[in-house]
Chain A
Amino acid sequence: QSALTQPASVSGSPGQSITISCTGTSSDVGGYNYVSWYQQHPGKAPKLMIYDVSNRPSGVSNRFSGSKSGNTASLTISGLQAEDEADYYCSSYTSSSTLNWVFGGGTKLTVL
């Protein structure tokens, strides 16, 4: 069960926009519209930010958006704020495993 591929780190200044990529295969990201994104602050539990590629749960800022093209999903954060500094993980449904879900390796977002 291979993890999805994310960049180890990204950074941006307050007010800017950043994008985090999540690359998989046709057995996971490319084959299903079931990509989700989680935010995790140090020492805290993850929090759902995006589900089904581009849907935001109630209460999540509209500065967070998701998209997908082929085998790569993306999370975009616009109008960066200091509180956005955290680790971000993507996850996808997969047909390659009986467990049916796989996470990305995580991306550390630094707000400069």
Chain B
Amino acid sequence: NAGVMQNPRHLVRRRGQEARLRCSPMKGHSHVYWYRQLPEEGLKFMVYLQKENIIDESGMPKERFSAEFPKEGPSILRIQQVVRGDSAAYFCASNRDYLNTGELFFGEGSRLTVL
């Protein structure tokens, strides 16, 4: 009964490198959401994906950030040319389908540190 799995749990990158964060949703879930939590702040929505489709990317920075959820395999959040301001906890969440209760199931997060 695996929950939402994220890896890596911790990632250290130097400025200018690329960061790739992976998320496997709960079994049977086809909707994936990425949220970012900056230090001492709340969770900010980044992107909502279904298999092979980006549904809402209104929270994604316009440059350097991209996300995908392929037909096979995990969802990936990719940050190119990282900067110190990208240091944050990135949480992935999933749900099965349209639920009017809105409950999302979260992973334990990936903590990115940019040196």
* Genuine A/B complex: no
A residues sitting closer than 8 Å to B (CB atoms) are: none
